[in-house]
Amino acid sequence: MTQSDTADTAGANTQPETIQGGCLCGQVSFQIENRFDKLLLCHCAQCRKTTGSAHASNLLGRAETLVFLEGADQVREFRHPERDFTKAFCSRCGGALPYVTGDGSTCIVPAGALNAEPEVAELDNIFSEEQPGWSEQVSAAPRHVGFGSVFD
Interaction site with Zn ion (CB under 5 A)? 23, 25, 27, 42, 44, 47, 90, 92-93, 95
Nearer Cβ to Zn ion (38/92): 92
Order of strands across the sheet that contains 106-110? 99-100, 106-110, 56-62, 38-42, 123-126
Nearer Cβ to Zn ion (44/60): 44
Closest approach of Zn ion to the CB of residue 90, in Å: 3
Residue 78 Cα to chain centre, angstroms: 16
Cβ count within 10 A of residue 91: 15
Q: Is 111 helix (H, G, I), strand (E, B) or coil?
A: helix
Closest approach of Zn ion to the CB of residue 45, in Å: 8
Nearer Cβ to Zn ion (6/101): 101
Closest approach of Zn ion to the CB of residue 74, in Å: 7
Closest approach of Zn ion to the CB of residue 7, in Å: 40
Q: What share of the chain is helix, strand, coil (3-state, %, to 5)?
A: 25, 35, 40
Nearer Cβ to Zn ion (64/70): 70
